[in-house]
Amino acid sequence: MSRGRTLVALALAYVLLFATTGVATAQGPSSRAPAGSDVGYVAVNALLGALTGGIGSHARGRSFRDGFVRGFLGGGVSYLGKRVSGASFPAAGLLGRQIGAAGASVVRSAAFGTRLLDTLVVPVGPARVYVALESGSASTVRLDLEETAWLVHRLTSDHVSFDLARTLSAGSFVFTGESGLGGDGDTARGRAASGVVSVREVGDGIDEASFAHERVHVVQFDYLKIVQGLPTEGWAREELGIGWGSALHHLDFGVGQYPLLWILTAPWFSHSRQVLEIEAEHIEAIRAGSRR
């Protein structure tokens, strides 16, 4: 199986599993009551990781079973990261994001047919640290151009202000505003784009459950980038014959996941049925319930 066909197979596997999950869980209540148990969400994340690891490993001439098993483990860890990121203790977002990235790194290693955790991808601000654990290659730091663009956009926006304390706790850039997070007329309680979160101020603070919801999105975006987006960019570079110069070696464009992300958030799903929203709403509901 060629690398191009592998990407197509992975995309189809994601869409079919996500779509099936979306229809099943979207029939639950529309309030903040959880739409399903954690067991189901762990299972879906683990199966997605398993499919990614198994198909990717097989495409590289290695064992499907080994990739499947290790991908299953990584997918389960990635959900743990989302769950932790939505918790109420200090720095939950920071810890959850790193756990989620570790799980995504395991899935990535499984798909490449390497050892359990060949390279640990650590998101730090608008950059990622690629920590080489077993491959013998040197570790490196790469700037994410997409996240940097979103950060600049928010820093220059009149609708929100930078929140340092929440940024340190969340492990991602956090901005707060009284209204119009996405511009005039925007009524959303929170928004997340890559590793940049915006949350609406309510009274003297913010809606903590909504903040938890957006932190979950950050972990979701990290997973899609580490497992799908960045390998897709690497494949495209090779197919187009684009080499790694000294400058490009330290840059990630951060957009390779967008075709899949568009499918998962496509117009034929209403907002409440989009699969990324279903998972975030589940964890948001748990966070809201813990404060009652």
3-state SS, 8-50, equals: HHHHHHHHHHHHHHHHHHHCCCCCCCCCCCHHHHHHHHHHHHH
Q: What confidence tier does 244 reach under pLDDT thresholds 50, 70, 90?
A: low
Contact 276, 19 (CB under 8 A): no
Contact 206, 182 (CB under 8 A): no
Cα 172 to Cα 167: distance, rounded to the nearest angstrom: 6
Which residues are bridge partners to 131 per DSSP? 120
Q: What confidence tier does 290 reach under pLDDT thresholds 50, 70, 90?
A: low
Contact 274, 264 (CB under 8 A): yes
pLDDT at 35: 45
Residues 175-198 have pLDDT tens digits of 998 876 766 667 788 889 889 999
pLDDT at 169: 94
Provide the greatest CA pair distance for the chain. Answer: 58
Residues 137-161 have pLDDT tens digits of 778 888 999 899 999 999 998 889 9
- pLDDT of residue 3 exceeding 60, the answer is no
Give Cα 248 distance to the centre of its chain: 23
- pLDDT of residue 96 exceeding 90, the answer is yes
pLDDT at 159: 84
- pLDDT of residue 23 exceeding 90, the answer is no
Cα 82 to Cα 69: distance, rounded to the nearest angstrom: 21
- Residue at token pair 């060629």: 2
Which uninterrupted H or E stretch holds 85?
helix 64-85
Which residues are bridge partners to 252 per DSSP? 144
SS3 274: coil
Residues 200-225 have pLDDT tens digits of 888 778 888 889 999 999 999 999 99
Q: What confidence tier does 115 reach under pLDDT thresholds 50, 70, 90?
A: confident
Cα 98 to Cα 120: distance, rounded to the nearest angstrom: 10
Average pLDDT over the chain reads 80
pLDDT at 292: 47
Which uninterrupted H or E stretch holds 147?
helix 145-155
User: pTM score, two decimals?
Assistant: 0.83
- The residue-averaged pLDDT of 16-45 equals 55
Q: Provide the percentage of residues in the chain whose pLDDT is more than 70.
A: 75
Q: Provide the percentage of residues in the chain whose pLDDT is more than 90.
A: 35
- pLDDT of residue 228 exceeding 90, the answer is no
pLDDT at 243: 60
- pLDDT of residue 171 exceeding 90, the answer is yes
